[in-house]
């Protein structure tokens, strides 16, 4: 997409501190600025995970839009759900190991909420993907964790990186 701030397309801002989200949009050819949102990303243990992802994405977009009113602001949040258990970002390497051990050989949901703000308009959506992990040994989990890819990701893995090797199937 060309025309960054040209009038043809509005100035676009990604409301995120995630290098992966930035890389994903840049790989698609989008031109934008990055402004990290001032939002606490706490996940509630109860409530609908999809709505939580949507609300967090909306809060991120609103936070950045407050200072970027002439821009189109895009934000997202991802939550991993195994059964009734929400897996956020791991607190430490042991927590990441625990999460990956839980996901081993099982199907879980990856739910992403996306929000867009521009002028007096706003929109949001939820996308759900079913991911099935391979059966993982402790050694495979430790090898993955040694790559330092899991620390700031919901569910402790990055499917767009080496985490793709942990996955058997993706649906959605």
Domain residue spans of the chain: 12-171
Residue 32 · residue 14 · CB < 8 Å: yes
User: What distance in Å separates the CA atoms of residue 32 and residue 14, rounded to the nearest whole number?
Assistant: 7
Which residues carry out catalysis? 77
State pTM to two decimals.
0.86
Q: Minimal CA–CA distance to 100: which of 53, 54, 154, 63?
A: 154
Per residue in 103-152, pLDDT (tens digit) is 999 999 999 999 999 999 999 999 999 999 999 999 999 999 999 887 78
As a whole-number percent, the residues of the chain with pLDDT over 90 amount to 74
Helix (H, G, I), strand (E, B) or coil at 8: coil
Q: Tell me the two tokens of residue 133.
A: 């992990």
Q: Can you give the pLDDT at residue 8?
A: 56
Residue 1 has pLDDT above 90, yes or no: no
Q: Can you give the pLDDT at residue 2?
A: 41
Residue 101 has pLDDT above 50, yes or no: yes
Residue 161 has pLDDT above 70, yes or no: yes
Residue 49 · residue 82 · CB < 8 Å: no
CATH 3.40.50.720, domain 12-171, yes or no: no
Helix axes 138-145, 93-103, angle to 10 degrees: 130
Per residue in 34-50, pLDDT (tens digit) is 999 998 877 666 679 99
Least confident of 16-20, 40-44, 61-65: 40-44
As a whole-number percent, the residues of the chain with pLDDT over 70 amount to 92
Strands 107-118 and 167-171 come out as: unpaired
């Amino acid at each position: 997409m060309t025309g960054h701030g040209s009038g043809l397309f509005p100035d676009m801002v990604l409301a995120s501190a995630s290098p992966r989200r930035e890389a994903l949009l840049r790989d698609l050819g989008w031109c934008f600025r990055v402004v990290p949102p001032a939002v606490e990303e706490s996940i509630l243990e109860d409530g609908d995970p999809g709505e939580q992802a949507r609300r967090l994405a909306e809060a991120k977009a609103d936070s950045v839009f407050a200072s970027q009113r002439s821009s189109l602001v895009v934000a997202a949040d991802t939550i991993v759900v195994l059964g009734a258990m929400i897996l956020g970002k791991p607190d430490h390497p042991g927590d990441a190991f625990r999460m990956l051990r839980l996901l081993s050989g099982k199907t879980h949901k990856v739910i992403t909420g996306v929000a867009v703000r521009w002028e007096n308009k706003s929109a949001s959506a939820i996308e759900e993907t079913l991911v099935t992990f391979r059966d993982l040994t402790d050694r495979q989990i430790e090898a993955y964790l040694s790559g330092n890819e899991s620390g700031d990701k919901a569910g402790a893995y990055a499917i767009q990186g080496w985490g793709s090797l942990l996955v058997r199937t993706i649906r959605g």
